[in-house]
Amino acid sequence: MASLKALKIRIGSVKSTQKITKAMKMVAAAKLRRAQEAAEAGRPYAERLEGVMASLASKVTVSESSPKLLAGTGKDQVQMLVVVTSERGLAGAFNTNIVRAARKKAEELEAAGKTVRFYVAGKKGRVIRRFYPDQIAGDFDISTMKVASFDQARAMADDLIRRFEAGEFDVVHLFYAKFVSALVQEPTARQIIPVKVEASASHASTSSTSAAAAVEYEPDEESILADLLPRNIAIQIFRALLENAASEQGSRMNAMENATKNAGDMINRLSIQYNRTRQAAITTELVEIISGAEAL
């Protein structure tokens, strides 16, 4: 049985931890509001740009002269999985869920005979090295990024496009956590290279079929696509960074709230144990004193 002194030290230690977790919860809650507003504000532009890309792509006959980011390499043997996580932990299962989704996709691709490579953005995503030590093709540093930045997204997009044009891979999938609410963050996977015309075309056509039919592009669809395709990739990566920032704070707030509650429960249990041990010690002393008095 632990001594009274050890229990008192343990209770003090848990109380200190509880103060830290409570403070971290408040900080995450304050950051969550701004991050959520940024993520929600970025969605309409990213979704509308995808619709424009789909509308343009549906009017173009994909051929060897088409932009490579649209036509692809003509094969899908080498698949690149871009895993975007955070730089910090203590955010519950936020990073774990993203990595798990990427690993599941990698297993499916390898089972289909594909070659899988990983491109990691965020310190916590580097855990993939434990499972795929020889398949890490890139590691983008976002440690200096205090808030989601389009410049960082564009730099990452430029690096991926350069590698794609150099023939390092055929298809790129982007993994991140979509922010739904403070309690729910959904691991999401999107193919960003080459652009998926079939999946996006239905979204564009349902938005306004008649309006799309009346649109005339100048100089021509392929020229506009060649200019918009790199921008679209940067925008989709920027959206992933914004969604991740909100998801991280929401997950951290919940994790710290649970940690604070668990610390409170532990303090109650330790306090009960401390009081029982103290009462037992007092009772033992009284029995010894009474026994000694009777012996005299």
Provide the pLDDT for residue 198: 53
Contact 78, 167 (CB under 8 A): no
Provide the pLDDT for residue 204: 43
Q: Smallest Cα–Cα separation from 155: which of 176, 137, 141?
A: 141
3 three-class SS: coil
DSSP letter at 136 equals E
Asked if the model's pLDDT at residue 212 lies above 50, the reply is no
Contact 54, 201 (CB under 8 A): yes
Tell me the per-residue pLDDT of 3-38, one tens digit each, with 9 for 90 and over: 888 889 999 999 999 999 999 999 999 999 999 999
Supply 170's token pair.
């055929």
Superfamily of domain 42-252: ATP synthase, F1 complex, gamma subunit (3.40.1380.10)
| Overall average pLDDT of the 105-128 stretch | 92
Q: Smallest Cα–Cα separation from 52: which of 156, 234, 197?
A: 197
| Overall average pLDDT of the 80-86 stretch | 93
Asked if the model's pLDDT at residue 209 lies above 50, the reply is no
Supply 132's token pair.
């795929």
Tell me the per-residue pLDDT of 124-143, one tens digit each, with 9 for 90 and over: 988 998 899 899 988 888 88
Supply 147's token pair.
């808030």
CA 105 to chain centre: 16
Beta carbons within 10 angstroms of residue 205's beta carbon: 14
Q: Cis (ω within 30 of 0) for the bond into 230?
A: no
Q: Which of 39-43, 152-156, 169-173, 200-204 has the lowest mean pLDDT?
A: 200-204
| Overall average pLDDT of the 231-240 stretch | 92
Q: pLDDT tier at 288 (50, 70, 90 boundaries)? A: confident
CA angle 31, 36, 38 (to 5 degrees): 100
Q: Residue 277 burial (CB < 10 Å; 0-12/13-18/19+)?
A: middle
Provide the pLDDT for residue 199: 43
Provide the pLDDT for residue 217: 66
**167 Rama class: left (phi>0) / alpha (psi -120 to 50) / beta:** left
Question: What is the rounded distance in angstroms from the CA atom of residue 155 to the CA atom of residue 160?
Answer: 9
Provide the pLDDT for residue 203: 47
Tell me the per-residue pLDDT of 164-204, one tens digit each, with 9 for 90 and over: 988 899 999 999 999 998 888 999 998 988 887 654 444 44
Question: What is the rounded distance in angstroms from the CA atom of residue 26 to the CA atom of residue 22?
Answer: 6
Provide the pLDDT for residue 28: 93
Give the whole-number percent of the chain exceeding pLDDT 90.
49
Provide the pLDDT for residue 206: 43
